[in-house]
Chain A
Amino acid sequence: MSMSTITSDLTAGGSGQPSQEGEELNQQALAIGRRALNLLRYYGLEQISADELIAQLAELGAQSILARHWPLLAGNPAYAASFQVLQIVSTLEVEADYQIRTYGPDSLHEDFRELELAVGRLRRAIQSSALESARGSGGER
């Protein structure tokens, strides 16, 4: 599957533009993903402790966003990119403590890479959607 196919599919139902709720969801997921990456970076650089990492991940509210937009997210490939970002962050929020105790602090390096990729995909999806929207508006003139 090519990237253009993936990104063009990441709109409401694979056709048309994201709804207003969808756009809000994508932006919130992107913001949460970026902040989570910063937190993981600070933790990796030992600028914050594990307890601080977990507390600040919880403050990002990934679970709340998932709960609020669940009808839009679940089973909808159009929002797969947002779902992936929010899913990574919400599981970190709940289980980072167990993960660090069981596998050690270095185990978060892989999560950082995975989240970085997921945020990248989401960012490209949002940009692609914005481009489509601009083309669509241009075509109507």
Chain B
Amino acid sequence: MTQSATDKESISEQERFEELKRKVREQLVATHGPIAQALRGVKYRVAIFSGKGGVGKTVSTINLGSALRQMGYRVGIFDADIHGPAVPKSLGVLGRMETVSEHVGHHDLRFDPVLSRYGLKVVSVASIWPGEEVPIMWKGAHKMRSIRYFLSAVNWGVLDFLLVDLPPGTGDEVQTVMSSIPNLGGMIVITTPQGISAMVCSKAISAARELNAPVLGLIENMSVLVCPCCGTRIQLFGQSRGEQLARMMEVPFWGNIPLATEMGECVDEGVPVVVKYPDAPVSQAFRQMAAKLLDSLRVERPMSDAEAEMLAHRPRDHHEHEHHHF
């Protein structure tokens, strides 16, 4: 009896030790692992997601990013939509990401982001893929690995904001981003007026909460179309439900973004609407969203050059640990 009790105690201790090792390892990886190291110069990490596709996440991401850029912030965009990477085209980014070798003969492959015409750093699988006609048929764990690989292998440099354009839904890619990016500042939810979007978005918000990802705010896109001829307001997608959804899910409602007749032209040309039509109501709305983001994260101003310089020269810690022994 005593022997059995001793064995049980020993097994239990072993399990506790293994659990402790696992937690310590996770903490170390989160603070000192490859992704943490790659993002060490990025001050705020924010992901944009929705429950369903077609709500305008990508357009919202690039215009939010561009509005922040116009305010003087250093902005990068990670296009995490592996199967439908639209960020480069929407920003007119045609070049490919180039590889950088930190050490001659070193086997680590690192990439430099592509810089858009308007000063945004862009990382997307579209910028490395063999061709538009070649389908990206990655599955399951391969997608997750690739997202993590991009996060860790890119020279992000110094950024005030890294905006992550997520694919629709709450699947593996979204969960991977939420769990892999250390110190994720939060999530911005994009919805549209339709009831179906509100329903799916509510699930997405619940999923974010389950994964301990703070939801910073909810934006309702394509809320209303203002007729350019007579000024009549047309609710093309039904009555607005964004505010109601935000109230129900207890998240801040950041406001509505109107439909814009200029938007299609801007996306096709690869110019953010906030750049091409800065005085349009839709551009004003995006700037208001940017202000809401700054407010929610209590960001007072862009990083100064001195701060950026300091962050840029912060060494990668190959051997530094918060604790030496356990």
Residues of A within 8 A of B96 (CB): 74-75
Is there an interface contact between A74 and B97, defined as CB atoms closer than 8 Å?
A: yes
Is there an interface contact between B134 and A94, defined as CB atoms closer than 8 Å?
A: no
Measured CB to CB, the nearest residue on chain B to A76 is: B130
Is there an interface contact between A114 and B139, defined as CB atoms closer than 8 Å?
A: yes
Residues of A within 8 A of B142 (CB): 88, 91, 110-111, 114
Classify chain A's interface size.
20 to 34
Measured CB to CB, the nearest residue on chain B to A108 is: B141
Choose, from A15-23, A48-56, A58-66, A123-131, the stretch at the interface.
Answer: A58-66
B103 to chain A, nearest CB (A): 11
Classify chain B's interface size.
20 to 34
Closest 6 CB pairs of A and B: A77-B131, A80-B130, A95-B145, A63-B109, A91-B145, A74-B96
Measured CB to CB, the nearest residue on chain A to B146 is: A91
Is there an interface contact between B98 and A70, defined as CB atoms closer than 8 Å?
A: yes
Contact with B along A90-105 (1 / 0, CB 8 A): 1110111011001100
Extra pairs beyond A78-B130, A80-B134, A99-B141 (11, CB < 8 Å): A63-B107, A64-B109, A74-B128, A75-B96, A88-B142, A91-B142, A94-B148, A95-B149, A98-B145, A107-B141, A111-B142
Residues of A within 8 A of B99 (CB): 66-67, 70
What's the Cα separation between A74 and B153 when bound, in Å?
A: 16
B118 within 8 A of A: no
What's the Cα separation between A70 and B130 when bound, in Å?
A: 11
Is there an interface contact between B130 and A77, defined as CB atoms closer than 8 Å?
A: yes
A78 to chain B, nearest CB (A): 8
What's the Cα separation between A73 and B148 when bound, in Å?
A: 21
A88 to chain B, nearest CB (A): 7
Is there an interface contact between A79 and B141, defined as CB atoms closer than 8 Å?
A: no
Is there an interface contact between A95 and B130, defined as CB atoms closer than 8 Å?
A: no
What's the Cα separation between A79 and B128 when bound, in Å?
A: 12
What's the Cα separation between A110 and B141 when bound, in Å?
A: 8
What's the Cα separation between A70 and B34 when bound, in Å?
A: 22
What's the Cα separation between A127 and B141 when bound, in Å?
A: 30
Residues of B within 8 A of A99 (CB): 141, 144-145
B210 within 8 A of A: no
B307 within 8 A of A: no
B106 to chain A, nearest CB (A): 8
B305 within 8 A of A: no
B129 within 8 A of A: yes
Q: A76-B131, A99-B141 are in contact. Are A61 and B34 (CB under 8 A)?
A: no
Measured CB to CB, the nearest residue on chain A to B101 is: A67
A61 to chain B, nearest CB (A): 6
What are 29 A-B pairs at a CB distance below 8 A?
Answer: A58-B107, A63-B109, A64-B109, A66-B99, A67-B99, A70-B99, A73-B130, A74-B128, A75-B96, A75-B128, A77-B131, A78-B130, A80-B130, A80-B131, A87-B146, A90-B109, A91-B145, A94-B145, A94-B149, A94-B153, A95-B144, A95-B145, A99-B144, A102-B144, A103-B141, A107-B140, A110-B140, A110-B142, A114-B139
B27 to chain A, nearest CB (A): 14
Residues of A within 8 A of B300 (CB): none
Measured CB to CB, the nearest residue on chain A to B126 is: A75
Measured CB to CB, the nearest residue on chain A to B98 is: A70
What's the Cα separation between A107 and B176 when bound, in Å?
A: 15
What's the Cα separation between A94 and B107 when bound, in Å?
A: 11
What's the Cα separation between A75 and B144 when bound, in Å?
A: 22
What's the Cα separation between A99 and B139 when bound, in Å?
A: 13
Is there an interface contact between B129 and A98, defined as CB atoms closer than 8 Å?
A: no
What's the Cα separation between A63 and B149 when bound, in Å?
A: 12
B108 within 8 A of A: yes
Is there an interface contact between A110 and B145, defined as CB atoms closer than 8 Å?
A: no
